[in-house]
Amino acid sequence: MVAWIVRAAVTKRAVLILAIVSALSLIALGVLQYRWIAQLGASERKLLDASIERGTRNFREEFNTELSTLIDRTMRGPDHTPAAIAARFHAVAATLQHPQILRSLYMATGSPKLTRVIDGGVVPAEWPGYLARLSDDLRDPEDGPPPRPFWNEDPPAIAVPMAPPPRPGPPDKGPPPRNREDGDPPGWLIFEFDSVYITKHLVPELIAKHLGPGFDVEVVSTTDLTHPLIGSAIAHPDATTGFFEFHPEPPRERAGRPRRHDPPQPPQFATSRWQLRVKHQSGSVALEVAGARHRNLAITGAVLLLMALSSAALVVSLRRSEELNRMQMDFVAGVSHELRTPLSVIRSAGENLADGVVAADKTATYGALVRDEGRRLSNMVEQILRFAGVESGRAPYTFAAVSASKLIDRALEESRATLENVVVEKQIQEALPNVMADESSISHCLQNLLGNAVKYGDGKWVRVEAARQGAFVEFAIADRGPGVDPAEKRSVFNPFFRGKKAIDNQIHGLGIGLSLVKRVAETHGGRVNVRNQPDGGARFSMLIPVEE
């Protein structure tokens, strides 16, 4: 017994240590997970920002490369005749991925004539209305066109000045000066772009290529930021980049002509004509990262909660296992004590009878003693066997319709020895329906309740009740004892449980009678209940379904 107490103390300490270690481990893991998720969120924010920046930069470079390649290679060359320019233009267009971005290519000189480059050469063309200002400047007899590129907003068009090839001259003096009277004035290449193709095909294709899904985009003109060319207005974009840029080489100053008196201006196309704005569909990159962080925290919290619940369940299971072991040890000790007493009495009586020390007039007394102790021993063994059968699920039941009065009468008859000096009061409702039950099992349960009422009550009075309760017949046994401790009501039907008063008063018992009653009632489809009566004593009831 001392060894068992030491082992139980060690087990409690181990369970307590396990609970503390589990709690500390979960707290540490939660803190580390929180810090890790915070760092992960910061890293993800940097990666998303870098990804958006890289995507917008690549978008800008690819668009501007297409534009610059088309213009530079068309203009570059020693021959600026219409046929040579047309040949270069078609050769360059064949190498582009998106030659459809150009709608028309015009050539203009100081004369009022305008030619359009087509496949195979050039043809005369009328000046478009949107190039009227450039047309007026080209035909200005005093000042001539401005020596810088010209931009038209709608439709998008670029007019780039071309320097004429130098005239041959003496080797030591270089080319002679050239003025307007010496020949044709400088020419202009006018590139008219297809805004429909750019907005409907090229820009969406580049956005999908370099940014991918998950982003809202807006394209606006830098001269009008309120009316998007593509998409809808974005208030606070995550990234912005300009495009539609061209950096031409500065035109040569026309010899023999004074420059304009207005201050020098940078090329119009060195600045972005259109602007791309990008924003994550979740609202912003910060909101997306915050949402991902919250999701990660929620998942981590759920995992930690499951781990905490698992640890708690493990600790509770260990505690229950420890409690069950303790009750089983109590049960073994109780059974050993309960078996030892009748066996000792039977053995002593048998030895006295065998040795002939019992007088003839005492033989009947010794015989009754052996009979009673043998019956007590048999009842105890039967109780244990029944409990073992119910717990294992192998208890045989034979259900049949049986009257409530018959069950009560059988229980009272078999408990006659227990109720020998006890007043039994019966309250049986008339015309009770039959119940579907195993007669032997229900009668044995009623015997257990009667025995408990005598043992834990005042030992002088019990009441047996039977009444209809809806679809059940309620069998109840009441006594006039101290009742059940309210703190123990939830445990009285547990296996091996014995109340504090029973242990303190050294009342004999195994702690399996009420558990057996509960299991049998539940197997029959019923239930059990216990309550203290207002005038004192406890009332145990068992509800069994009526016959359908």
H or E, element range at 532: strand 527-532
**CATH code for the domain of 430:** 3.30.565.10
Structure tokens at 58: 């690549």
Q: What angle do CA 312, 317, 320 make, to 5 degrees?
A: 125
User: Six-digit token pair at 35?
Assistant: 């810090």
Rounded distance, CA 442 to CA 517, Å?
A: 8
For 27-136, where are the E strands, in sequence order? 102-108, 114-118, 121-125
| C-alpha torsion 110→111→112→113, nearest 10 | -110
Residue identified by tokens 């699920």 is: 393
Q: Is residue 475 part of a domain?
A: yes
Instruction: Find all residues with CB under 8 Å of 187, minimum gap 6, and list them.
Output: 80, 107, 108, 109, 161, 162, 164
Can you tell me the distance from the alpha carbon of 58 to that of 8, in angstroms, rounded to the nearest whole number?
A: 72
Separation between Cα atoms, residue 253 and residue 273, nearest integer Å: 26
Domain annotation covers residue 195: no
Decide: helix, strand or coil at residue 125: strand
- Give the pLDDT confidence score for residue 185 in this predicted structure: 46
- Position 149 scores a pLDDT of 66
Contact (Cβ atoms closer than 8 angstroms) between residue 239 and residue 56: yes
Dump the DSSP string for 208-223. HHHT-SSEEEEEEETT
Contact 515, 477 (CB under 8 A): no
Note down pLDDT in tens along the chain; length 548 residues: 444 444 544 466 777 787 788 778 878 877 777 777 777 777 777 777 888 889 999 999 999 888 888 888 888 777 777 788 888 888 888 888 888 898 888 888 756 678 888 876 788 888 888 777 767 766 665 655 555 667 788 888 888 877 655 555 454 444 444 444 444 445 788 889 998 999 999 999 999 999 888 888 999 988 888 888 888 888 888 889 989 887 655 444 444 444 444 444 444 456 788 999 998 877 655 655 666 667 777 787 777 777 777 777 777 777 777 777 766 666 666 666 666 677 777 777 777 777 777 676 677 777 777 777 777 777 667 666 666 666 666 667 788 999 999 999 999 998 888 888 899 999 999 989 999 988 888 988 898 899 889 888 888 999 999 999 999 999 999 999 888 888 888 888 887 777 777 776 667 666 778 888 888 898 889 999 999 988 888 999 999 999 87
- Number of residues in the chain: 548
- CA distance to 173, 383, 407, 435, 472, per residue, from 525 (Å): 122, 21, 17, 11, 10
Query: What letter does residue 129 receive in the DSSP assignment?
Result: G
448 close to 517: Cβ distance less than 8 angstroms: yes
CA distance 371 to 365: 10
Domains in the chain, number: 1
Whole-number Å distance between alpha carbons of 57 and 535: 90
Dihedral angle computed from the Cα positions of residues 384, 386, 392 and 394, in that order, rounded to the nearest 10 degrees: 150
Domain that holds residue 509: 397-545
435: left (phi over 0), alpha (psi -120 to 50) or beta: beta
Cis peptide, bond prior to residue 155, ω within 30 of zero: yes
Secondary structure (3-state) at 131: helix
**For position 261, what pLDDT does the model report?**
42
Question: Is residue 446 assigned to a domain?
Answer: yes
Phi and psi at residue 76, to the nearest 5°: -75, 125
Chain-centroid distance of CA 62 in Å reads 41
Would you say residue 440 lies in a domain?
A: yes
Residue 352 placed within a domain? no
**Strand ranges for 174-273 from DSSP E:** 187-193, 215-221, 230-231, 239-243
Packing angle, helices 439-456 and 513-523, rounded to 10 = 150
Distance CA 304, CA 289 (A): 22
CA 92 to chain centre: 55
Alpha-carbon distance of 10 to 25, in angstroms, equals: 22
Q: Each residue of 411-435: b (16+ CB within 10 Å) or e?
A: bbeebeebbeebeeeeeeeeeeeeb
Residue 449 lies in a domain: yes
User: For residues 419 and 416, what is the distance between their CA atoms, to the nearest angstrom?
Assistant: 5
Q: Quick check: is 23 in a domain?
A: no
Which 3 state secondary structure label does DSSP give 373? helix
Q: What is the pLDDT of residue 3?
A: 46
Among the listed residues 324, 323, 332, the one whose alpha carbon sits nearest the alpha carbon of residue 510: 332
Pair 70, 93: CB distance under 8 Å: yes
Torsion-angle region of 254 (φ positive above 0: left; ψ -120 to 50: alpha; else: beta): beta
Burial class (CB in 10 A: 0-12, 13-18, 19+), 340: exposed
CB 292 within 8 A of CB 37: no
Give domain status of residue 133, yes or no: no
State residue 505's pLDDT score: 67
Extended strands (E) in 163-292: 187-193, 215-221, 230-231, 239-243, 274-280
Which has the closest alpha carbon to 447: 346, 351, 378? 378
In whole angstroms, give the CA distance from residue 128 to residue 109.
15
Q: Is-contact 460 522, C-beta < 8 A?
A: no
